[in-house]
Amino acid sequence: MIAAWNERIPVPDAAIEEQCRDYVDNLTKPLGSLAEMEVMAVRLAGICGTVKPHDLPKAVVIAAADAAIDSEANVGHGASSYEEALLIAGGVAPVSAVARDIGAAVYLADVGLERDVSGVDGIMVHKWQAGSRRPQTREALSQEACAEAVAFGVQVAMQLAEDGVRLLGLGDIGERADLAALAVTAAFLGPDLAAKIEAAGAGAVGDDWELATREPETVLARYGSASIAMLVGVILGAAASRMAIVIDNAVTGAAALAAVTIAPRAKAYLFSSAAYTNPLQQLQLQQLGLQGYLHYDFTLAQGLGSVLGLSLLDGALDMLNEMKTFGTAGVTVAEDGPGKGRQREEVR
């Protein structure tokens, strides 16, 4: 059962985190001066189970699916997402360029595009349904399509783990994907939010929010998209494999909320990156206890924000491995202030 995933996800090593925190506090800088960069390093240490993790292989998984294909707004019938998929598959999209620069492999999966990409190199195709319906129908996906998308996401994550990937960025492409993200967020966040979004005609109906805690796969099928379902599977599989996971926009955020509802332990493996003006994404990050760092005002998804987030994690690891401690650098430790007693010459 999908809910059994929580027991498969290990809890990050708190003792290693404390050792890493002590080491970071003894690097040649004012105590706490690198703020969130230090937090990232400590969290990565707990996830990896070593005080100074380094050279962690990276990858990006992009789920592709169109939503609300029965909507009157669907005039292009997947044309824009099809073209976007071709650019990513060809390695010439913005996310491709940034990923290449940081050494992250890009994997694109069609789990629900309205158009056929089966003959295109560079795209994994695992599509049971060519696009999801409007969330208002309460039958966005068939149960089979939803289950297959989740299972496929798990399979992708497990394969990446076998290949040695430790840092994973998530992305998506697809027309009207935010509609599904809005509905899924409403369904998994509880009655107050669900009621407000339902009044706007886009959210979960009645007490379906309660169903999210008992039958999350049913809620994903009713209101979600194949891309969100796949990303839920990726998050569960990656967390179970001790991967750090960087989310991006509101679509990946909806998947993260669903995954954390299914398996609360997965939350410890999630990192954020880009800060969007989208209030839905802001709400998701607040609920997940995360914050966006990069204020670039992106209007493009693809996972570009999460790829840049991977570079932030790289920076945190560089700090951890390239800087010296007061003891190794021969620098006098603090004799007063917050560093007194915490910074010690014997820490090397």
Per DSSP (E only), the strands in 113-160 are 123-125
pLDDT at 196 over 80: no
Domain presence at residue 326: no
Euclidean distance between CA atoms 115 and 290, whole angstroms: 35
Question: Which two tokens mark 199?
Answer: 């009044």
Element housing 283 (H / E)? helix 279-288
Domain presence at residue 139: yes
**Which CATH number characterizes residue 99's domain?**
3.40.50.10210
pLDDT in tens, 250-279: 999 999 999 999 999 999 999 999 999 888
The total number of structural domains in the chain stands at 1
Domain presence at residue 196: yes
Euclidean distance between CA atoms 309 and 16, whole angstroms: 23
pLDDT in tens, 131-158: 999 988 889 999 999 999 999 999 999 9
Domain presence at residue 255: yes
Mean of per-residue pLDDT scores for the chain: 90
Question: Domain range spanning residue 203?
Answer: 58-314
Which DSSP letter does residue 104 get?
Answer: E
pTM: 0.92
Domain presence at residue 116: yes
Confidence of residue 108 (pLDDT cuts 50, 70, 90): very high
Element housing 168 (H / E)? strand 167-173
**Pick from 47, 51, 54, 50: which is nearest to 25 by CA?**
51
pLDDT in tens, 57-84: 999 999 999 999 999 999 999 999 999 9
